[in-house]
């Protein structure tokens, strides 16, 4: 474990990016680049659950902690990914405290949750480290819910107060779409939603997070109190690198 939860509680700002290609090679390359965490995307990414294991193995020796975004809060989906060795789970489109509680419950073993127990899994060293993994799981596993719906804006305090939820992560595209202002991140409605999310997280002693499109926007969000910040993806890095090189070569033709 790479102490993401502990570092967030200490007030650190943690930087991450998306892994959308389903590739263990790009996972390893990005993991070695200097990010604190990377997110394997099973909601929109090209990879499937069978690709997660190889990406987790590739990330093991890098400084980046591995988080996986799953498609729903089904308990079986959560604990299957955790058993593979993920250090955190992100769940999209949480709308209220009941849904947030379902996520938190799936993250942890009884009596703190409803996660199924299997000792011979990768996360516990195939049984060799299970006592420690079981004992320290609640302090190590990061629970992240995405703030992407109009409804959740009416329940931010309750979601943030949910035990086991550590990060309220804003999805700018989906949230602005829900608010009827798609892509207008300077719109007062979006700014108000952003501030309300950060305030709810801070009151509950939790962190707020966001995915930004332009790294130059970083100071704006950091000054607001957002401490879990992602920018870019492996697919974007490959695409931009290839396009830049092709354009540079063309300029010499």
Q: What are phi and psi of 179, to 5 degrees?
A: -85, 0
SS3 166: coil
Other C-beta atoms closer than 10 Å to the C-beta of 27 total 27
Contact 95, 132 (CB under 8 A): no
Other C-beta atoms closer than 10 Å to the C-beta of 41 total 24
Contact 103, 78 (CB under 8 A): yes
Encoded tokens for 210? 């966001």
One of 44, 54, 108, 154 is an active-site residue; which one? 44
Tell me how far CA of residue 3 lies from CA of 14, 42, 70, 158, 228, in angstroms.
Answer: 11, 23, 21, 26, 14
Contact 224, 192 (CB under 8 A): no
Contact 232, 18 (CB under 8 A): yes
Contacts of 186 (CB under 8 A, 6+ apart): none
Is 44 known to be catalytic?
A: yes
**Rg value, the chain, Cα:** 18
Mind telling me the catalytic residues?
44
């Amino acid at each position: 474990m790479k102490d993401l939860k502990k570092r967030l509680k200490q007030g650190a700002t943690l930087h991450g990016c998306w892994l959308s290609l389903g590739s263990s090679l790009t996972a390893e390359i990005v993991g070695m680049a200097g990010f604190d965490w990377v997110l394997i995307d099973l909601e929109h990414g090209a990879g499937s659950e069978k690709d997660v294991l190889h990406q987790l193995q590739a990330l093991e020796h890098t400084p980046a902690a591995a988080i996986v975004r799953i498609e729903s809060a089904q308990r079986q989906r959560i604990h299957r990914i955790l058993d593979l060795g993920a250090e955190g789970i992100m769940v999209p489109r949480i709308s209220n405290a009941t849904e947030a509680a379902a996520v938190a419950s799936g993250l942890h073993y009884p009596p703190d949750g409803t996660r199924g127990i299997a000792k011979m899994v990768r996360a516990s060293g195939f049984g060799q480290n299970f006592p420690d993994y079981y004992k320290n799981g609640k302090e190590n596993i990061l629970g992240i819910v995405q703030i992407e719906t109009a409804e959740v804006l009416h329940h931010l305090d309750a979601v943030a107060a949910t035990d086991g939820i550590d990060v309220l992560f804003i999805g700018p595209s989906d949230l602005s779409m829900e608010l009827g202002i798609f892509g207008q991140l300077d719109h007062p409605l979006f700014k108000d939603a952003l501030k309300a999310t950060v305030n709810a997280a801070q009151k509950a002693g939790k962190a707020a997070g966001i995915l930004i499109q332009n790294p130059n926007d970083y100071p704006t969000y950091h000054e607001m109190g957002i401490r879990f910040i992602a920018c870019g993806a492996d697919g974007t890095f490959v695409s931009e690198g290839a396009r830049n090189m092709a354009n540079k070569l063309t300029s010499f033709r």
